[in-house]
Amino acid sequence: MRFHMHLLPTYFPGEDPPFDVYFRQLLEQVQLAEELGFECFWFTEHHFVLYGGPVPNPAMIMSAAAARTSRIHLGSAISILPLHHPVQIAEDYAMVDVVSGGRLEFGMGIGNAPTDFQVYGVPREESRDRFEEALQIITAAWTQDSFHHDGRFWHMPEASVYPKPVQQPHPPFWIAGTSEGSLHLAGQRGFNVMTVAHPFPPERMRPSVAAWRQGLREGGHEPSTHYCKLHVRTWVEEEGAHAKEVAEKAIQRYDARQAEAHIGTLANGPRPNYDWDGMRAQGRNVYGTPDECIRGIEATRQNYDFDIFSTTFNFGGIPHEQVKKAMTLFAKEVMPAFKDVQGSAVRDDAAVAREVSPT
């Protein structure tokens, strides 16, 4: 199994340090993740809120992380294509790939925060069409010596983007999604995908990932060379009761911060009755002692279809030094248990595909 790390800041003024210190701490965590053997570190893009918003441009902090590391890959989870001029995105992320020596994982999506579109002056109903056109432009900018474009939203004369990415023909493309239709299309295009465990029960996600794998086959892409990353909030300590206390408090604060931002599944407020035991039993949150985390990941494997287990340790206001300690313990005591284990135990492409009718 492959292990990544995912950062979606849930920033708490007065408790978290000032942003100059906060970002230095994040970069320390990326450096530690590399030392511990995590393969990729992912940064989200959000705006105007303290749920993810402290990283409005992942390319900037990814470039800073690239200068402090040499092996770990750096991913955008996601770049919100409809909000920005696609040439700017192409230039920014090409720089990340170049300064990192070819370690960019380019994740993209349409975004899920209404305020972003209002402030940027982009009609949200145009988001999917803008995404498609932006993707065309970014691909051309990265793969052609020069290009021009005359589309619905953007018009540009012949131009060349410099530098080109190190990875050819372009860095790996990743799509964030949950629906069968969107993941099926991602598969047909040969894209990797990223999903998340805690908002969606397994029965909701398994058909969507099966649709992606079916789309890969239909598009002539080898499923074994493409990846599904599952993001899971994770916490580990030697003492189980304390680990449970820290993790559950942090999950509550994470969900409250998300609800304040009116984003995603908690846009209408936190859940009134949180099923702590059920979430843990299905591997949708993983926390406890190292042995409990191993069992938790086994539960995730039994319920979700994925290749990469992407942890989040920095969430809900957990202090930096505790985050580093948990990362280290997880790498030393939990990750080795899955060295020779497949990402998911539920994958049965033929059986699951029979349940799927992508639209």
Instruction: Indicate the domain borders of the chain.
Output: 2-353
Cβ(312)–Cβ(234) below 8 Å? yes
Tokens 């993001």 correspond to 231
Tell the CATH topology of 2-353: TIM Barrel (3.20.20)
Give the three-state DSSP class for 341.
coil
Query: Which amino acid does the sequence have at 53?
Result: G
Give the three-state DSSP class for 358.
coil
Q: Token pair of 37, please?
A: 């053997």
CA distance linking residue 247 with residue 269, whole number of Å: 20
pLDDT (tens place) for every residue of the chain, 359 residues total = 999 999 999 999 999 999 999 999 999 999 999 999 999 999 999 999 999 999 999 999 999 999 999 999 999 999 999 999 999 999 999 999 999 999 999 999 999 899 999 999 999 999 999 999 999 999 999 999 999 999 999 999 999 999 999 999 999 999 998 999 999 999 999 999 999 999 999 999 999 999 999 999 999 999 999 999 999 999 999 999 999 999 999 999 999 999 888 876 655 555 668 999 999 999 999 999 999 999 999 999 999 999 999 999 999 999 999 999 999 999 999 999 999 887 787 765 444 444 444 43
Please name which of 68, 64, 67, 2 lies closest in space to residue 31, comparing C-alpha atoms: 68
Is the torsion defined by CA of 192, 198, 200, 202 positive or negative?
positive
Cβ(296)–Cβ(288) below 8 Å? yes
